[in-house]
Amino acid sequence: MPMPGTLTVAERIVLHISQHQKFKDCYDVPFDVSQDGIAQALLISRAHAAVELKKLKESGEVQERLAHIKKGKNKRKVYFLTTIGEEKSAKIRGYAEELGIDVGPCVDMRKARGPEVWKSLSEDNRKVLAAASVYRKPFKRTSLPETSVPLLPVDKSGNVELPAELRSEVQGMLSRDQLRILHSSAADYWLKDGDYKERLYHLLEAGRMREAEMLVAGKGAILLRNADQSLLDDLAQIAPSEKYGAKVRQVQAECARMLKDFDYTLTLCEEMIASKDVKERFFGLLIKGKALKDMGRYDEALVVLMSARSLESRRGTGLECEIADVLVAQGRHEEALELLQSIARMDTMDDPETAERTCLLMAKAYLGTGNAEDAVRYASKSLAMTRSSDKKPWFEVLAKAYAQIGMGEKAREFEAKAHPPKRWGEA
Question: Can you give the CATH number for the domain in which 19 is found?
Answer: 1.10.10.10
- Of 87, 109, 131, the position where a domain reaches its end is 109
Least confident interval from 66-75, 94-103, 241-250, 344-353: 344-353
DSSP 312-376: -SS--HHHHHHHHHHHHHTT-HHHHHHHHHHHHTSGGGGSHHHHHHHHHHHHHHHHHHT-HHHHH
CA dihedral 75, 79, 82, 85 (to 10 degrees): -170
Give the pLDDT score at 158: 81
Closest CA to 291 of 260, 250, 251: 260
Q: Are residues 3 and 104 part of one domain?
A: yes
Closest CA to 42 of 167, 163, 173: 163
Per-residue pLDDT tens digits for 255-294: 999 999 999 999 999 999 999 999 999 999 999 999 999 9
- Of these ranges, 1-10, 97-106, 166-175, 214-223, the one predicted with the greatest mean pLDDT is 214-223
* CA–CA separation, 376 and 411 (whole Å): 11
Look at residues 137, 121, 118, 133 and name the one whose alpha carbon lies nearest to residue 167.
133
Rounded Cα distance between 57 and 390, Å, is 48
User: What does pTM read for this prediction?
Assistant: 0.74
Measured in degrees and rounded to the nearest 5, phi and psi for residue 409 equal: -65, -45
Cα–Cα distance for residue pair 377/37, rounded to 1 Å:
51
Report the share of the chain in percent with pLDDT over 70. Answer: 89
- What pLDDT band is residue 113 in, cutting at 50, 70 and 90? low
Residues 6+ apart with CB under 8 A from 225: none
Q: Tell me, yes or no, whether 12 and 71 share the same domain.
A: yes
- Name the residue range of residue 27's domain: 1-109
Q: Rounded to whole angstroms, what are the CA distances from 286 to 251, 253, 262?
A: 13, 11, 14
Q: How far is CA 417 from the centre of its chain?
A: 25
Among candidate residues 91, 109, 127, the one where a domain is terminated: 109
Q: Tell me: pLDDT of 151 over 70.
A: no
Burial of 171 (0-12, 13-18, 19+ CB in 10 A): middle
Q: Does residue 238 form part of some domain?
A: no
Would you state the pLDDT for residue 2?
35
Query: Does the residue 33 lie in any domain?
Result: yes
**What pLDDT shows up at residue 233?**
97
CA dist 423 and 427 (Å) reads 9
Rounded to an integer, the average pLDDT of 82-99 is 88
Q: What is the DSSP string of 236-303?
A: HT----TTTHHHHHHHHHHHHHHTT-HHHHHHHHHHHHT-S-HHHHHHHHHHHHHHHHHTT-HHHHHH
Q: Kindly state whether residues 98 and 11 are assigned to the same domain.
A: yes
Q: Give me the residues paired with residue 34 across strands.
A: 78
Domain tally, the chain: 3
Task: Give domain status of residue 82, yes or no.
Answer: yes
Q: Is residue 357 scored above 70 in pLDDT?
A: yes
Same domain, 67 and 122: no
The answer to whether residue 211 is domain-embedded is no
User: Using one digit for the tens of pLDDT, what is the confidence trace for 174-229?
Assistant: 999 999 999 999 999 999 999 999 999 999 999 999 999 999 999 999 999 999 99
For residues 77 and 90, state if they share a domain: yes
Q: For residues 266 and 97, what is the distance between their CA atoms, to the nearest angstrom? A: 63
CB atoms within 10 A of CB 338: 13
Give the mean pLDDT of 96-108.
Answer: 67
Q: Are residues 91 and 166 in the same domain?
A: no
Mean pLDDT of 318-336: 95
In tens, the pLDDT along 34-53 reads 998 888 777 777 888 899 99
28 has which bridge partners? Answer: 68
Pairing of β 139-140 and β 75-81: unpaired
| Confidence category of residue 5, pLDDT binned at 50, 70, 90 | very low
Question: Does 344 fall in a domain?
Answer: yes
Q: State the chain's mean pLDDT as an integer.
A: 88
Our measurement of the distance from residue 351's CA atom to the centroid of its chain's CA atoms, rounded to an integer in Å, reads 27
Average of pLDDT values for 289-305?
Answer: 97
Considering the domain architecture, whether residues 67 and 119 belong to the same structural domain is answered as: no
What tens digit of pLDDT does each residue of 138-150 get? 999 889 988 755 6
- Residue 423, pLDDT above cutoff 60: no
Contact present, 184 and 202 (Cβ < 8 Å): yes
Last residue of a domain, one of 88, 109, 130: 109
Q: Specify whether the CB–CB gap between 272 and 254 falls below 8 A.
A: no
Residue range 337-343: mean pLDDT, rounded: 91
Query: Domain containing 383 — which CATH number?
Result: 1.25.40.10
d(Cα 149, Cα 74) in Å, to the nearest integer?
32
